[in-house]
Amino acid sequence: MQAEALVERSNQSPKFPTSDSPASNLPSLQRQAPDGPRPRPALLMCAPKVYEVSYVINPWMEGNLGHSSRQRALRQWRNLYHALSSMAQICLVEPRAGLPDMVFTANAGLARDGLVALSSFAYRERQGEEPLFRRWFQEAGYTVIDTPRETPFEGEGDALFSADGMRLWAGYGFRTAPSSHAALERIWSVEVVGLHLVDPRFYHLDTCFAPLEDGSLLYVPAAFDQASLRKIEAFYPAEKRIAVSERDGLAFACNAVNLGRRIVLNRISAELEEELRRRGFEVTQIELDEFLKAGGAAKCLVLKLTPSLHCGSNADDPMQAELLEV
């Protein structure tokens, strides 16, 4: 199928707002001058207003059915929101009752250069999120590209660009089908390299693999098959690879949000924190154990948006203002 055939025709407002676009609080894409200063990054998040563990689609959820605390989840999520909002513009998508995993916006799709490859979730439990994310991206001015139901694709949860943006690492084995990779290659004219995930606890690529902006990599080697490890080692020389211990891996240390020199993640060991500091990173640890019960942590709760968006001023937005109340 040609990428063009995948582009959803929509009669939405122009992709890039012009000076006569109606003023509104809706997010809108901003063109980035090729040589201009780097725009402030923008991230999509979804408050855990309806978050709970009410079904099991990964091993983390087993034994946690009905055992999450929404109050605690909200507190932890707010801490993450605050830490990230000092580095990035945060855009919010409104959650919908009955879709408790919508808080994990990394799975909404993969967004880059005004295009978004919208996810086709592997499990029915999450498929109801698709139209809601679609609407958000359309209103933000993205060109939405559908990925076929027959080839599940779970967005940035399973697809991560290398720091130079030239390569897309794409996980498969549990959620995303390797047959979805060809479409990604066509959409962004980028080299897509498949990585086979073999440990069900690390069922999405972003649970065990984090390309950092300085060109290094945080990863859990045991989460991959041998052929994938060889691909990783061929790309990242030994001094660029930070293999995390099983303990840190299971604390979702690789599920890290990295913006410039800053890294925001769940609680990790003192050794790993020291290693990241030694490499020049500023590390912010935020307790996110309520989300681990559903199999997610910092990076799963965030989707990177490029180019940067205007989401309206946080203070003017009633939804954001209400959420930020302590």
Residues that bind ligand ARG (CB under 6 A): 57-58, 61, 101, 104, 106-107, 126, 157, 204, 206-207, 294-296, 300
Instruction: Quote the least distance from Cβ 103 to ligand ARG, whole Å.
Output: 9
* Cβ closest to ligand ARG, residue 145 vs residue 303: 303
For residues 72 and 128, give the distance between their C-alpha atoms in angstroms, rounded to a whole number.
Answer: 25
Q: How far is the CB of 206 from ligand ARG (least distance, A)?
A: 5
Q: How far is the CB of 162 from ligand ARG (least distance, A)?
A: 18
Identify the active-site residue in 46, 208, 254, 300.
Answer: 300
CB of 208 to ligand ARG, least distance (A): 10
Residue at shortest CB range from ligand ARG: 157
Which is nearest to 12 in space by CA: 109, 134, 119, 155? 134
Nearer to ligand ARG by C-beta: 107 or 180?
107
Shortest reach from residue 266's CB to ligand ARG, in Å: 12
Query: 188, 1, 165: which is closest to 109 by C-alpha?
Result: 188
181, 204, 254, 311: which is the annotated catalytic residue? 204
Catalytic, 300? Answer yes
In terms of CB distance, is 60 or 141 closer to ligand ARG? Answer: 60
Which of 26/209 has CB closer to ligand ARG? 209
Q: Which of 232, 149, 223, 157 is nearest to 194 (CA)?
A: 232
Nearest by Cα to 237 from 217, 214, 210, 258: 217
Count Cα atoms within 13 angstroms, Cβ side, for 206: 30
Residue nearer to ligand ARG on the CB measure, 104 or 141: 104
Cβ-based nearer residue to ligand ARG, 181 or 293: 293
- Give least dist CB 296 to ligand ARG, A: 4
Rounded CA separation 244/241 (Å)? 9
Q: Active-site residue numbers?
A: 204, 300
